[in-house]
Amino acid sequence: MYDSYYGVKYEYGDHEVIIKYLDSQGNEMSLTTYSIIVRTLDDDGRAIDDYYYDLDMQPTQYAGYYGMHWDYDNNGWNNRITYLDRNGQPVLCSSGYAIKEYKRDADGTITGEFYFDEQGNPTKSSFGEYGQLYERDENGRISQIMYADADGNAVTNSAGYAIRKYTYYRDGTVDTDMYFDNAGNPVALSKGQYGIRHNGKITLLMDKNGNVMLCVDNILNGFPFIVVVFGCVLCFVMLVLPKGWSILLTCAYVEFILYETLMFRETGNARTNFVLFSYAGNFLKEQSIRVGVINNIWLFVPLGTGLYRIFQKKWVLLIPFVISVAIELTQYITGLGIAEFDDVFGNTMGGWIGVLVAWTWVKSHREEPPGRATRDRDSGIFIGHVGSRVSTGKKAYEEN
């Protein structure tokens, strides 16, 4: 399986290729946003236009556009891509531009790209720059990206840096990427990280000197099982603390959720995945998918526990769903990650598990065993014991 499909089928016609995607049984299938690409070719066999369709051959939109048009220079190299609406006219894509022009060196290697609107005027991308300029290492891999203004000078993008530098493993995969301002000085992003180290499927935040930081994110990313342990401990603490402290801890945990799901993300394309259980086929095959699903569920378990501990009402079941939908909408509007139904399902399920845990705890601790002193668990003050004639204590306990 590659990405979300198992094969590709090509149907050739006169100056045209129809591209269809196949499932594990060899049947035509739908991708997240389109199913079929109809590609027009010139006399030299080069792609001129791509248009996107669903399985019923109805035009469909991908990242804000319905098709793409390629232009070539005198050397036969692609030097411009124009994004098209369903009528074949230039249209702004979700990245904020309608035209992307490439800069190349004498060998045809791409050294940069710049963005323009429907009328051909320079325009910013959703990432905050007018273009990008590249430097490459001896193997031709991009070793530096400089984000540029309309004149080609370094400019700070929406993530807070102007230059991004890369190093690679021997197999060609990215090892580290570090962030710098327009003067070439190291710059920290939202979580205090100056860069990222890629270790297989795991990403670790780095400090100014390129060392892995000691922080919650790295512990959770490096040791996925810690997420479960952390969730269990936090749920227990929320249940045994006095109610006032549980309220404070739950509010702090909501801020933690927003921090984890939004603050670290870089603004980019508005991306969506509206296919529920899209991970089902790979859940048992890929560890990264299992870790992602578990994290989505466990992230909201303490939230559900804290909410029911505070309110003890059935309507708290709606809150995890509402918060998750709000996060996914924010990710879609701002481009902070991918808005997915799977995330909403996993978050909501986690919240409901937390509510169930808290409901079970509250129910089992509502009545104290006979013959033992009772304590108001919210205030921590003894209020009487079985057999006592202190009516005020009994009344206080019943009201609690």
Domain contains 399: no
Same-domain check for residues 137 and 210: yes
DSSP structure string for 51-93: EEE-TT--B--BTTBSEEEEEE-TTS-EEEEEEE-TTS-B---
Same-domain check for residues 248 and 202: no
Mean pLDDT of the chain: 84
Domain contains 10: no
Same-domain check for residues 232 and 328: yes
Rounded Cα gap, residues 354 and 367, in angstroms? 21
Same-domain check for residues 232 and 345: yes
Which of 207, 222, 237 is where one domain is finished? Answer: 222
Same-domain check for residues 185 and 237: no
* The one-letter amino acid at 198: H
**Of 235, 253, 247, 248, nearest in space to 354 by CA:** 235
pTM: 0.68
Domain contains 286: yes
- Overall domain count for the chain: 2
Same-domain check for residues 234 and 344: yes
Same-domain check for residues 333 and 277: yes
Same-domain check for residues 191 and 279: no
For the segment 298-308, the average pLDDT, to the nearest whole number, is 93
Domain contains 229: yes
Same-domain check for residues 304 and 193: no
Same-domain check for residues 215 and 243: no
Report in angstroms the alpha-carbon separations of 73 from 67, 76, 109, 215: 21, 5, 13, 50
Same-domain check for residues 268 and 151: no
pLDDT bin (cut points 50, 70, 90) of residue 282 is low
Same-domain check for residues 151 and 241: no
Per the structure, the complete domain to which residue 343 belongs is given by 225-364
Domain contains 6: no
Domain contains 78: no
Cβ proximity of 290 and 358 under 8 Å: no
Rounded Cα gap, residues 97 and 113, in angstroms? 12
pLDDT digits (tens, 9 = 90+) for 346-400: 899 999 999 999 999 998 887 554 444 444 444 444 334 444 444 444 444 344 4
Rounded Cα gap, residues 362 and 308, in angstroms? 9
pLDDT digits (tens, 9 = 90+) for 305-319: 999 999 999 999 999
- CA-based Rg of the chain, rounded to a whole angstrom? 27
Rounded Cα gap, residues 119 and 121, in angstroms? 6
CATH of residue 153: 2.40.128
Domain contains 213: yes
